[in-house]
Structure 1
Amino acid sequence: MIIIKRVNLLGVATLHDFIYAKQKSPTKCLANQMSKDIKAIQCPKCGSTSKQEIKPDFYQCQNCQTEYFLDSDDTHVYHHHERVPPVQSSAPPGSTKLPVYILIGAVAFIAVVYFITMLFQPKRSSYNAISTYKIPRSYRSSFVYTNTATGEPVYLRLGTDYIDKGNNQSEKEYHAQFNNALNGKLIADRIVDNDDQNQNDCSLTFKTYAPDMIYAIGCNSQISKLDTRNNKLINVTKSIFKDYPQLSSGVARLDFDYDKAMINVMNNEGESYHYFPAINKLVKSDAEANAVWKKAYNAKHYFEFGYMGDYFDHHKVNQLIEIKYFKEAGQLLKRDLTPGRKYFSPVILYQDEKNLLIVVNTTAAPEPPLSIQRIDVQTGKILWALPPDKYYLSSVAKYKQGFAIEYRKGEEADYVHGVMVVSDAGKLVYNYQLSRTE
């Protein structure tokens, strides 16, 4: 065995370093000693010179734990390396869990969104459950009047609700809806307790005998009274004739008479009568009706369109005629209120002792725009006229500050309808307009 000085990685000898070289024979040892170079023994795996002898000529690298030995004068270096397994952590690597966390988060997000959606979704009844859905109301009749307590115009509309009860079953409700024509606000929506109206969906025809006496006829034999103070429609078919034995068999037919302030009545036995609601009187013959008419109405003052000349004139024209009847003198006075004025298809919309509203076609052409005009009942002059328009006009009411006029337009305006509220001076105060389906 020869002791050789330890050298650093650059081959330079240093103190305290040593290696052991094993020679095959003592004779070669001295001979070879002079021919060998001095080299540092390095780990064949990582090149480190840091080592520990574990038995003669066997070493272990302190850097990578490789074991090696020297053979044939350090000509061959053999090594044996065992990889030291890495120290296992108690927690798995974070990178391997990242996709799992993403998946769990996505599932949780979907669950939260689904829960919120179901929470705020309207509840639906099952197929066989009773549904509260109602088909839009089908309106059949309407009328504008003045509330005698407030003096404001009210728009009354009557229609049927078809309530779906499920299982192909439905129920009908007949409603009377009252709206303030000055602003459109709902006053009341009442169910009308009338079996005939509910079953037959009859339209109603109204007639005013006094501001607080308005009647409506429907289904030919049903009569109702409009409570103008409390905004109610009351069926009075049984009560209105209860004091007349002539009608004890029941009412077969009712009709408003537009020449006199009376109602024509036929009982179930086919007998006809005339009823005057203002004085609560029932008579049998036309002669009796004429006598009551002359006696009950001492003086009459009204306007109508007609012709004061001979009936057989070839050039008859429309004239606005003022008529006054005085019972005491037995006189019937007539005068042309607007002499020389030409009218195309004129109609009187509203009249009382102080007010007169008419509507006329603006030209002789078919279906021209209409003109609504207020006429001075003393002079016949036009006080004001609304802008010409195309519409159909029906009921009109005089309220404390002007007029309420019910109208409906045609296809070109998609059948809009409602009530125009006009001041005494002719200014449009409010147009309570509804769409076709309202």
Structure 2
Amino acid sequence: MAKSIKAIKCPHCGSIKVSTIRPDYYKCDSCGTEFFLDSDDININHNYNYPRNNTDQYKAIRIVLFAVVGFIALMFIIGVLSSIFSKKSEPNYSTYSSSNTAEKKEEAEPLEWNYASNTLFLDKDNSPHVVVVGNVGTSRNRFDEGKDNKVYIGLFDPKTGKKEWVKQLMETPVELSSSDVNLQVFEDQNLYIIIKSKYIYQLDKNSLTYKSVLENYVKDAPALSTGIAKVEFKYEDYGSAYQIMNNEGQNIAYYPLINKSIPDKQLYDERRKKLPNPTTKTEFTFSSKSSSYPEEKIQLIQYTYYYQYGYPKDSPRFSWDKDFGGSGIFTDRDPYKKVLINPWQIKGARLISFKDFTPGRLYFQPVVVAQNDKTLLIAYKPTPAEDDPLQIQLLDISTGAIQKTVATDLKSIYGNGCLLKDGFIVKGSSDYYYFDNSGKQINKFEGYNPKFDTLN
């Protein structure tokens, strides 16, 4: 059959721009449609092949990208504007809020003591005070480098817990650490204060005023004229005295109440010398547990000795022992006597007499707390059990008769308490306890760190 020649058009788009794939098979160059021709007739069979619409796809992607970028840009602009406006308005707001908050904290936060020492002190009227000496600050600035290192002295009423006054003790700032403040009441009943082993102050019992006494000591004692390099208190067994190293390096025991300087190597003999104008004095102590006679019980001892105000002394120590009659090396085969105190100690303590004040009574971990002309105040455990609390007992000082026994929950009581007209005060590990005459506890006062609001 004859074929007539015709222009081949794309059946889909009508374009005549076509390409031959193989005989009678074509592809439109415009839309990509593939088609073929039948041999019997000019029938065009076509296969529609739709390519992806790249233009629409790219347009959608661009829209999404523009939206994301626009959102990020909007958030950035809002953040910048917010920061600018907040900075402009911040000074007035923050100044007001921070300053007022700080003031409120300063008003609300109490002052407290840093590295302070305390003791019980009686004035001329036998009224009790707890004296505290140390640095003062708040809990927030305790460890600040720029903290106030001035040394203060404060008086508190242990019966009520109220502050009497807190004042600056010394002009020179001193940053204290543990054990830098030491307090001791001398025989004149005034309180003496040593700061940093260098400064010495006195609190007067009559006026409750304080002053430095270091200059007077240096002026009055020739051995101290070169100055004081270091000063500490002597143990109370030695009497009212200081242990001093002068600026020449000499170690001296100084007794300020009689203005007497004694080189260390001479002190042993000075404590045992016969006193020029002695009086007699009666005191009480407990014996120590004996290693030679462990079966012997601890005893409350009343002893009388020769005493002279301000002079060196040696307190007696009672404990059952073996007296071999002299010095040397001895064995149990050598003759000896069983004694409560050795003869050389009797001489050193200038003892006149002593006796068991309460025969037959049992005491564990006892301590003499205080005495006056009528009453002796002691504390002890009634059994050897470690977890047993102490009990307090008031005894007639003439007969030893028990006036009152008070149970407590205290595990420790120290020997610096006092007897008052309306009761008594004892010191625990760090607190002071006030009891009335019936034995009822009225107040517990925190002596270690009594907090207060203002200095005055």
**TM-score of the pair, normalised by structure 1:** 0.59
Do 2:180 and 2:197's aligned partners in 1 also have CA atoms closer than 8 Å? no
Aligned residues with identical type, % of pairs: 21
Matches within 5 A, 1:62-73: none
Secondary structure class of the residue paired with 1:246? helix
**Greater relative contact order (CA < 8 Å, ≥ 6 in sequence):** 2
Secondary structure class of the residue paired with 2:202? strand
Do 1:176 and 1:233's aligned partners in 2 also have CA atoms closer than 8 Å? no
Paired residue for 1:419? 432
CA RMSD of aligned residues (A): 3.9
* Residues 392/238 of structure 1: CA separation in 2 closer, same or farther (3 Å cut): farther
Question: Deviation at 1:124?
Answer: 0.7
* Whole-Å separation in 2 of the counterparts to 1:326 and 1:306: 20
Answering whether residue 124 of structure 2 is matched by residue 161 of structure 1, we say no
Which residue of 227, 248, 273 corresponds with 1:269? 248
Matches within 5 A, 1:206-285: 206-210=183-187, 212-251=189-228, 252-263=230-241, 264-284=243-263, 285=266
Which residue of 395, 401, 406 corresponds with 2:427? 406
Question: Deviation at 1:354?
Answer: 3.5
* Whole-Å separation in 2 of the counterparts to 1:236 and 1:420: 32
Answering whether residue 360 of structure 2 is matched by residue 382 of structure 1, we say no
* Whole-Å separation in 1 of the counterparts to 2:130 and 2:450: 17
Do 2:134 and 2:181's aligned partners in 1 also have CA atoms closer than 8 Å? no
Paired residue for 2:357? 337
* Whole-Å separation in 2 of the counterparts to 1:225 and 1:286: 25
* Whole-Å separation in 2 of the counterparts to 1:296 and 1:218: 34
* Whole-Å separation in 2 of the counterparts to 1:384 and 1:211: 31
Secondary structure class of the residue paired with 1:193? coil
Question: Deviation at 1:288?
Answer: 5.4
**Structure with the higher fraction of residues in strand conformation:** 1
**Structure with the higher fraction of residues in helix conformation:** 2
Partner deviation per Cα, 1:190-213 (whole Å, 9 max, x = no partner): 112153744556543332234632
Paired residue for 1:313? 293
Which residue of 257, 270, 285 corresponds with 1:289? 270
Partner deviation per Cα, 1:104-127 (whole Å, 9 max, x = no partner): xxxxxxxxxxxxxx8xx7661799
Which residue of 137, 150, 154 corresponds with 1:177? 154
Matches within 5 A, 1:73-152: 124=99, 136-139=111-114, 140-148=116-124, 150-152=125-127
* Residues 256/230 of structure 1: CA separation in 2 closer, same or farther (3 Å cut): same
Which residue of 347, 355, 363 corresponds with 2:367? 347
Greater gyration radius = 1
* Residues 292/221 of structure 1: CA separation in 2 closer, same or farther (3 Å cut): farther
Q: Which runs of 5+ in 1 are unaligned?
A: 1-117, 409-416
Partner deviation per Cα, 1:382-410 (whole Å, 9 max, x = no partner): 221222212443432344443222334xx
The 10-residue stretch of structure 1 (356-365 or 155-164) with the greater mean CA deviation from structure 2: 155-164
* Whole-Å separation in 1 of the counterparts to 2:257 and 2:207: 20
Question: Deviation at 1:215?
Answer: 1.9
Answering whether residue 281 of structure 2 is matched by residue 300 of structure 1, we say yes
Paired residue for 1:357? 377
* Whole-Å separation in 2 of the counterparts to 1:366 and 1:126: 50
Partner deviation per Cα, 1:216-262 (whole Å, 9 max, x = no partner): 33423433212223334433223234211211232223222322323
Question: Deviation at 1:318?
Answer: 1.0
Do 1:137 and 1:159's aligned partners in 2 also have CA atoms closer than 8 Å? no
Partner deviation per Cα, 1:301-339 (whole Å, 9 max, x = no partner): 11111169x9732423211111112589x8621100011
Partner deviation per Cα, 1:73-130 (whole Å, 9 max, x = no partner): xxxxxxxxxxxxxxxxxxxxxxxxxxxxxxxxxxxxxxxxxxxxx8xx7661799x9x
* Whole-Å separation in 2 of the counterparts to 1:215 and 1:313: 40
* Whole-Å separation in 1 of the counterparts to 2:449 and 2:154: 17
* Whole-Å separation in 2 of the counterparts to 1:260 and 1:435: 27
Question: Deviation at 1:168?
Answer: 6.9
Do 2:417 and 2:427's aligned partners in 1 also have CA atoms closer than 8 Å? yes
Do 1:301 and 1:353's aligned partners in 2 also have CA atoms closer than 8 Å? no
Between Structure 1 and Structure 2, how many residues are aligned? 306
Do 1:216 and 1:223's aligned partners in 2 also have CA atoms closer than 8 Å? yes
Do 1:146 and 1:211's aligned partners in 2 also have CA atoms closer than 8 Å? no
Question: Deviation at 1:160?
Answer: 1.8
Secondary structure class of the residue paired with 1:238? helix
**TM-score of the pair, normalised by structure 2:** 0.57
Question: Deviation at 1:435?
Answer: 9.8
Question: Deviation at 1:271?
Answer: 2.1
Matches within 5 A, 1:39-50: none
Look up the equivalent residue of 1:289 and give its one-letter code: E
Do 2:118 and 2:447's aligned partners in 1 also have CA atoms closer than 8 Å? no
